Amino acid sequence: MVVRLLVLKEEVREVQDKTYITVSGSEVASPPLLQMMDYGLRLDELQHKGKLLGKTLELQVDSIPRLFSGRPHLTGKILKVS
């Protein structure tokens, strides 16, 4: 599934020697999903750190683990940043 996500928040967490970057946003569609979604950047996507706020991500979504625990957290990969 491909989702277009407007990034409204970017959170950076440092745990020991690892950096975790999570973006939160809303779907860009007609009509959009009314719930906010989270996406954690993969290691090969860390070059986008600090540059995604206000941008639209086109995401290839592979799965939505922990679907019923708050906001959906998407896993997959970024196809395009615009």
pLDDT value, residue 66: 73
Q: Which residues contact 11 (CB under 8 A, 6 or more apart)?
A: 21, 22, 23, 24
What percentage of the chain reaches a pLDDT higher than 90? Answer: 67
Secondary structure tally for the chain: helices H, strands E: 0, 5
| Contact by Cβ (8 Å): 76, 19 | no
User: Where are the chain's structural domains?
Assistant: 2-81
Task: Please say if the pLDDT value at position 7 is more than 80.
Answer: yes
- Write down the mean pLDDT value for the chain: 91
pLDDT (tens digit per residue) in 44-75? 998 999 999 999 999 999 998 876 767 889 99
**3-class secondary structure, 70:** coil
**Fold observed for domain 2-81:** OB fold (Dihydrolipoamide Acetyltransferase, E2P) (2.40.50)
pLDDT value, residue 71: 84
Higher local confidence (pLDDT), 34 or 60: 60
